Amino acid sequence: MSYYPINIRIADRLCLVIGGGPVALRKVKGLLQAGGRVRVISPEVEPELQKLEESRKIEWMRRGYVEGDLQGGYLAFAVTDDRAVQALIMKEAEKSTVLLNSADDPKGSDFHVPAHFRRGKMLITISTGGGSPALAKQIRERLEEEIVPEYGAVVDLLSLVREQVVSRIDDPAAHAELFRRLLHLGIVDLILEAQWFELQMLLLRELPEDIDAVALMRQFLEKHDKTGY
């Protein structure tokens, strides 16, 4: 089966995690990182999940799953160790609009969570379609060494440049050509190596005259100092 690759926005949307063990904890952490509104359904949970509930970062319903619990949800993760409960959740999900990931039935799940890591705004994912999670993990670890944390700063600056360019030039082809040129001229390496003077000179040469490259660099460096990429 082939899967359609998307990055989905879950900010402020209800995400359900049925189960309270280590797998549930990993799912909850990922959902919170993406801004999801998380509800955990389980009689017992990991101590760290309980702390998240006490700090009001998640909602915890202290009971087992019952039919109707998926109502109002956007995404759901079935991560219990009870096959009968897992089957009940899947049966209800088939009749609802909620997207379900079932830990014990990858083929029956509506979606998979690929191996992934983040570099600031950049999200890198690796999926084998459920065929080999171990291989996906190995590739992720290899890429994590190559795509260093400083790439977060690369994305930040290119994003600032893009905002300025798009607001002034209504020509997608011109946008694409400008960024191809910046990348060809080594803007990524200049950022990774913190060569700020050379970077500013590049922007002064290549950006349209009505874009204040000096102010743009100042804005970028202020954020860079705060985030510490």
**Residues 143-165 as b or e (16 or more Cβ within 10 Å = b):** eeeeeeebbbbbebbbeebeebb
The pLDDT of residue 106 is 82
Task: Tell me what percent of the residues of the chain surpass a pLDDT of 70.
Answer: 98
| Predicted pLDDT of residue 227 | 58
pLDDT tens figures, 82-122: 999 999 999 999 999 999 999 888 888 999 889 999 999 99
- Arithmetic mean of pLDDT, 10-28: 97
Compute the distance between CA of residue 118 and CA of residue 144 in angstroms, rounded to an integer.
9
Number of residues assigned to the chain: 229
Query: Is the pLDDT reported for residue 209 higher than 60?
Result: yes
Angle of CA points 84, 86, 88, to nearest 5°? 70
Mean of per-residue pLDDT scores for the chain? 93
As a whole number, mean pLDDT of residues 160-183 equals 91
Confidence bin at 224 (pLDDT 50/70/90):
confident
Q: Output DSSP code: residue 134.
A: H
Q: What CATH class is the domain 1-113?
A: alpha beta
pLDDT-derived band at 79, boundaries 50, 70, 90: very high
- What residue spans of the chain are helical by DSSP H? 22-33, 47-54, 83-94, 133-146, 151-168, 172-184, 187-192, 196-206, 213-227
Q: How far apart are CA 16 and CA 158, in angstroms?
A: 35
Distance CA 8, CA 25 (A): 20
**Mean pLDDT along residues 145-162:** 95
- The predicted-structure confidence for 130-149, as pLDDT tens digits, reads as follows 788 899 999 999 999 999 99
Q: Which residue's entry shows tokens 């082809």?
A: 173
Provide CB contacts within 8 A for 203, sequence distance 6+: 161, 213, 216, 217
Domain boundaries, given as residue ranges, for the chain: 1-113, 114-147, 151-227
Structure confidence at residue 98 (pLDDT): 95
Tell me which residue has tokens 């900010």. 11
Of 95, 106, 125, give the one whose Cα is nearest residue 8: 125
How large is the average pLDDT for residues 192-206? Answer: 96
Per-residue confidence (pLDDT) for residue 131, from 0 to 100: 81
**pLDDT of 226 over the 70 cut:** no
Distance between CA atoms of 213 and 202, rounded to whole angstroms? 9
Question: What pLDDT, on a 0 to 100 scale, did the predictor assign at position 6?
Answer: 87
What is the 3-state secondary structure of 30-61? HHHHCCCEEEEECCCCCHHHHHHHHCCCCEEE
